[in-house]
Amino acid sequence: MSANTNTVLDFTRADFPEGFEFGVATSAYQIEGASFGGAGLSHWDTFAATPGNVAGAENGSVACDHYHRWAEDFDLIRDCRLDSYRFSTSWARVIPDGVGAVNQEGLDFYDRLVDGLLARGIKPYACLYHWELPAALADLGGWRNPSIADWFADFTEVVMGRIGDRLQAAATFNEPWCIAWLSHFLGQHAPGLRDIRAAARAMHHVLLAHGRAVQVMRGLKLNSVGVVMNLEYSAPVDETEAAIAAARRNEAIYNRWFLEAVFKKSYPEEALAGLEPHLPTGWADDFDIIAEPVDWLGINYYTRKRIAADPEAAWPSLKEVEGPLPKTAMDWEIYPDGLYHFLSWAAKTYSGELPIYVTENGMASYDRVDLTADAAERVADPDRIAYLNGHLAAVKRAIDDGAPVKGYFIWSLLDNFEWALGYDKRFGLVHVDFESLARTPKQSWHALKAALSSND
Ligand code: GCO
């Protein structure tokens, strides 16, 4: 996307069905400031405090200071004419030790957020878990410990008992693949393990915890409960049988494991081939809880990966190979067709008529900052505008072809803490100066505001 001069979005509200929602998404650890308001330590605090885990030795202790600046941030959502906001609740903020005593200050904070959104006419979408497991529970084995399903059910009861009545929708988990595989097999996120047995247990326990949380929310009479999966298009590097089989293994672990469990009460054969020996005893008996019916499905989509077989490596014996398409600042290929594919495929194969929301889509870009320029031109991010155009066209195509897509959330409102990559990767519609914490809407924010304000 070089030399791109896009400054406008190609669509208006009228291009999407009546009631289609446009929103932005964030997560607690990435924006709030984990050191404020009596929050307990999470495994992201301890992971980030370990040399080599996070670029620049950065962490989320201050992040965007959203904990204190949320009102200004919500004004930016309202002023952009967005309909909806997706945020997450930090377990360690609400229950500092993971179980037991509640930090009222933390719970009050989320209560303020919900009321602050409603006061501005913004629909609140809350996700219970976006990765900051209380460190006290990590000490007990975290996602490897089967008790985590009960711990998470108790946390769900506390949070949703307080804010559930005013939410537009609630989700249990953000991206189970990242919680389990990326963090316990690939070792890139907290707790940074590279262990197949730990990964297999996390892959199962996160689903069990999901099912238990859905049950708790039913008990609280919530009627818009879902889960957010991240899907990544898995393309064989060539047409050889070995590459095709490797891409299928990747797809089974990444895209099918969680959907198949929630919607079909099973795990894909290609993934069980490596994981079954490491699953907890009696795993197949848990599907009735795991498959507790949900009301909607969230899909996070960013990119595709090209996959080759790697016969030298242990199971799943595959590797990623760099692709030829233009890339974002994450070095992720830009591939809107993948989003089209998943929206249609998920509905046909798994979720049927249930509403689907694109709960995250967006890019890290190389922005040009000139704070002396006119307001709309202070932060130029033409590549983001082009990315949004491409992906919204894919969403529209999927809707035209029958996929029940009801909303689209951009990742993210603000530049923020991009996990192991620190503050260097900027995903926001709004630029954040991490010295002064000043917010400056980017050109994409202005373009979105114009698109959402117009009905033509
Ligand atoms: C994600 C995450 C975000 C990331 C984003 C970009 O759910 O993967 O929700 O936390 O910041 O995806 O990598």
Band of residue 334 on the pLDDT scale cut at 50, 70, 90: very high
Of 411, 415, 421, 429, which is best to mutate to test ligand 1, by the most ligand atoms within 8 angstroms of its C-beta?
411
Q: What is the pLDDT of residues 64-85, one digit of tens each?
A: 999 999 999 999 999 999 999 9
Mutual angle of helices 196-219 and 257-264, in 10-degree steps: 40
Q: For residue 372, what are the contacts with CB-CB under 8 A and spacing of at least 6? A: none
> Which pLDDT value is given to residue 80?
98
Q: What is the pLDDT of residues 113-166, one digit of tens each?
A: 999 999 999 999 999 999 999 999 999 999 999 999 999 999 999 999 999 999
Which domains does the chain show, CATH number per domain?
A: 13-453 (3.20.20.80)
**Of all helices (H) and strands (E), which one includes residue 247?**
helix 241-251
Burial 318-339 (b: 16+ CB within 10 A, else e): bbeeebeeeebbeebbbbbebb
Quote the ligand 1 centre to 425 CA distance (angstroms).
Answer: 11
> Which pLDDT value is given to residue 456?
61
Tell me the two tokens of residue 235.
């393309």
Among residues 175, 292, 333, 418, which one is catalytic? 175
Quote the ligand 1 centre to 99 CA distance (angstroms).
Answer: 26
DSSP annotation of 147 reads: T
**Of all helices (H) and strands (E), which one includes residue 340?**
helix 336-346
Band of residue 446 on the pLDDT scale cut at 50, 70, 90: very high
Quote the ligand 1 centre to 408 CA distance (angstroms).
Answer: 15
Q: What is the mean pLDDT of residues 251-259?
A: 98
> Which pLDDT value is given to residue 1?
37
DSSP annotation of 46 reads: H
Q: For residue 95, what are the contacts with CB-CB under 8 A and spacing of at least 6? A: 40, 101, 102, 103, 134, 154, 155, 158
Which residue's CA lies nearest to atom 10 of ligand 1?
27
Q: What is the mean pLDDT of residues 310-332?
A: 98
Quote the ligand 1 centre to 257 CA distance (angstroms).
Answer: 19
Q: Is 196 exposed, middle or buried (0-12, 13-18, 19+ CB in 10 A)?
A: middle
For ligand 1, is residue 132 a contact (CB within 6 Å)?
A: no
For ligand 1, is residue 88 a contact (CB within 6 Å)?
A: no
Q: What is the mean pLDDT of residues 229-236?
A: 98
pLDDT higher than threshold 60 for residue 4: no
Q: Are strands 430-432 and 84-88 parallel, antiparallel or unpaired?
A: unpaired
Looking at the CA of residue 131, tell me the nearest atom of ligand 1.
10
CA separation for the pair 217, 170 (Å, rounded): 9
CA separation for the pair 367, 34 (Å, rounded): 27
Quote the ligand 1 centre to 159 CA distance (angstroms).
Answer: 22
> Which pLDDT value is given to residue 7?
87
pLDDT higher than threshold 70 for residue 2: no
Looking at the CA of residue 25, tell me the nearest atom of ligand 1.
9
Quote the ligand 1 centre to 282 CA distance (angstroms).
Answer: 32
- Give catalytic status of residue 320 as yes or no: no
Helix (H, G, I), strand (E, B) or coil at 414: strand
Q: Which residues pair with 319 in a beta bridge?
A: 308
Identity of the residue numbered 61: S
> Which pLDDT value is given to residue 3?
39
Residues above pLDDT 90, as percent of the chain: 98
For ligand 1, is residue 303 a contact (CB within 6 Å)?
A: no
For ligand 1, is residue 300 a contact (CB within 6 Å)?
A: yes
For ligand 1, is residue 59 a contact (CB within 6 Å)?
A: no
pLDDT higher than threshold 80 for residue 342: yes
For ligand 1, is residue 42 a contact (CB within 6 Å)?
A: no
Among residues 32, 232, 360, 418, which one is catalytic? 360
- Give catalytic status of residue 360 as yes or no: yes
